[in-house]
Amino acid sequence: MPHLVIDRLSANYGTAPVLQDVSLSVERGEIVSIIGPSGSGKSTLLRVLTGLLKPHAGVVHVAGAQVDYGSAAALKKVRDRFAVVFQQYNLFQNMTALRNVTIAPTIVKKRDAAEVEREARALLEKVGLSHRIDAYPDELSGGQQQRVAIARALALKPEILLLDEVTSALDPELVAEVLDTIRVLAAEGMTMLIVSHEMGFVREISSKVVFMADGKVVEVGPPQQIFDAPQTERCADFVRRILRH
Amino acid sequence: MASLIEEAPRFFGYYNLIFLGQAFAYTALLSLVGCGLGFLVGFGLAVLRNERIVGFAPLRWFATIYVEIFRRIPFLVKLMVVFFAFQLAGFDASMFAVAATTVALSASAFSAENIRAGLESVHRNQWDAAETMNMGGLTALRRVILPQAWAIIIPPSMTYSVGLVKSTSIASQIGVVELTYAAKILNQKGFSAAICFGTILILYFILCYPLNLFASHLERRLAPSRHR
């Protein structure tokens, strides 16, 4: 049974449709990447999955159970399974790196503070920031902030990690450090749904690539297919323009 | 100047001091009700208006309508409306109660707007992150949003509070003997305008100055610069 199944999901911003009949599935431990031009609905899909935007139609199954986005209790449960890393990091500006990582486990999940802190220190070490745990977000570089955000997401012990263009706001030389961190997670078998513009990375890490345009899934396939032998004109056109430079 | 010195002992006589002290207490009390109750109610209204916290739309509309109406009516008119509303309702309220109610109504609406602006100055991605981590609206408000919003909320709130202390003088219009009214009465009794109004000028300053000290104290406590 797939870990995550999205079945004909649609969503609107006001009256404008931003997702139309989007379907895809992610197996346990699988890494699926979503690519496509700006405004194609990639990030919106992640917003719908985490309940930040209510779907208009369609269903989502996580670990075999259908998610009722209209119910606060069900939403709480599904959010416990996901963790999100945002394009703009979204670190809490009023907290140190360490506090950013420990706040949700202690305040929301009410776990033991000492144990959470031990885990948080280990996670920050894993992302290579054990020397910066007392720094505030505005004292960290973009790449460092994004790595704190990844540690924060992992502290929630998610089943599925959602990565929303996590390198798009970074300077080119900082991209590698964040991608390396994600590679480590991939090697550990974390289920991930990744929205990304880093085509080389997507090709290397994904078992499946989803190409979206205008709020719809245009083509799904293994990276070799999407990048080397796309089956649709739209996808071929996108890949040609992206890979040209 | 010579005449001022000459009338001073008479002006600062026992009964006048009691009279001025009472007036000072009225002004201070009205200001306190306005700043304290006004800020608390205003805070509640700002929270009610926030759709990240309150999902029930009619509550948000209620708060919006309240704020928009009471911000748009001049203080004197509000005073009259409350005065006649109490009369109509058959309450035998004192003039002070009428004035205090008006000050609270007015201050809550203005404070709500200052607080709303502060809350909205915090980027919505902070709410997004908190929400996806299952933090409730009020928890996110307390732990994430407010600590970042105080720096925006406090300065205009303090400016408003000082303004409020001064506008309590309008309560003299319905006969509350606060500082301004007291000065007028003493002036009519024959004391020079200079000594009457000069004295309340100092008293108003004594009332307002601690507010500024309190503001900087709050800013240090609630919105500290992180780079010490």
Q: A81, A159 in Cβ contact below 8 A? A: yes
Whether A90 and B126 lie within 8 Å, measured CB to CB: yes
Chains A–B, number of C-beta pairs less than 8 Å apart: 51
Q: How far apart are CA A198 and CA B1, in angstroms?
A: 82
Q: Are A108 and B144 inside 8 Å of each other by CB?
A: no
Backbone Cα Rg of chain B: 21
- Specify whether the CB–CB gap between B161 and B211 falls below 8 A: yes
Confidence band, pLDDT 50/70/90 cuts, at residue B68: very high
Tokens 């109509």 sit at which residue?
B88
Q: What average pLDDT does the segment B2-31 reach?
A: 91
Please tell me the predicted confidence (pLDDT) of residue B76: 92
Relative orientation angle of helices B193-222 and B2-11, to the nearest 10 degrees: 80
Report angle CA A216, A222, A223 to the nearest 5 degrees.
90
| Residue A245 pLDDT class (50, 70, 90 cuts) | low
Separation between Cα atoms, residue A98 and residue A135, nearest integer Å: 8
Q: Of B129, B147, B148, which is closest to A90 when you measure between CB atoms?
A: B129
User: Which residue of chain B comes nearest to A110, CA vs CA?
Assistant: B135
Report the largest interatomic distance among the alpha carbons of chain A, rounded to a whole angstrom: 55
Partner-chain contact A88 B148, CB within 8 Å: no
A136 contacts B226? CB cut-off 8 A? yes
Q: Where are the alpha helices (DSSP H) in chain B?
A: 2-11, 14-32, 38-48, 57-72, 75-88, 95-121, 124-132, 137-140, 146-167, 179-188, 193-222
Q: What is the pLDDT of residue B92?
A: 85
* Min distance A22 CA to chain B CA atoms (Å): 21
pLDDT tens track for A130-173: 999 999 999 999 999 999 999 999 999 999 999 999 988 888 88
Per CB distance under 8 Å, which residues of B are interface residues toward A? Answer: 125-126, 128-135, 139, 143-144, 147-148, 226
Nearest CA-CA distance, residue A50 and chain B, Å: 6
Q: According to the 3-state scheme, what is the secondary structure of B150-196? A: HHHHHHHHHHHHHHHHHHHHHHHHHCCCCHHHHHHHHHHCCCCHHHH
Residue B186 has pLDDT above 60, yes or no: yes
Question: Nearest CA of chain A to the CA of B55: how many Å?
Answer: 11
The better pLDDT of the pair B152, B55 is held by B152
CA angle A211, A216, A219 (to 5 degrees): 35
Contact assessment for residue B30 and residue B103, using Cβ atoms and an 8 Å cutoff: yes
Residue A57's pLDDT band (boundaries 50, 70, 90)?
very high
Residue B226's pLDDT is 58
d(CA B56, CA B53): 9
Is the predicted pLDDT of residue B225 greater than 80, yes or no? no
Tokens coding A197 = 């513009």
Q: Position B65: which residue type? A: I
List CB contacts (< 8 A) between A95 and chain B: 144
The answer to whether the Cβ–Cβ distance between B147 and A94 falls below 8 Å is yes
Contact B134 A103 (CB under 8 A): no
Q: Is the pLDDT of residue B77 over 70?
A: yes
Q: Following DSSP, what letter does each residue of A20-64 receive, concatenated?
A: EEEEEEE-TT-EEEEE-STTSSHHHHHHHHTTSS--SEEEEEETT
**Cα(A236)–Cα(A239) distance, rounded to whole angstroms?**
5
Decide if pLDDT at B6 tops 90: no
pTM: 0.88
C-alpha span between A143 and A98 (Å, rounded): 16
Q: Count of CB atoms within 10 A of residue B157's CB?
A: 22
**Which residues of chain A neighbour B129 with C-beta distances below 8 Å?**
84, 86, 90-92
Nearest to B131 by CA among B113, B118, B144: B144
Q: Could you give the ipTM of this predicted complex?
A: 0.91
CA gyration radius, chain A:
18
**Is the separation of the CB atoms in B109 and B72 below 8 Å?**
no
pLDDT at A126 over 50: yes
CB contact under 8 A, A94 and B132: no
Q: Closest Cα of chain A to B190: distance in Å?
A: 59
pLDDT, tens digit (0-9, with 9 covering 90-100), for B126-140: 999 999 999 999 999
Q: How far is A239 from chain B (nearest CA, A)?
A: 31
Instruction: Report in angstroms the alpha-carbon separations of A133 from A101, A109, A121, A123, A140.
Output: 10, 21, 8, 11, 10
- A84 → chain B, closest CA residue: B132
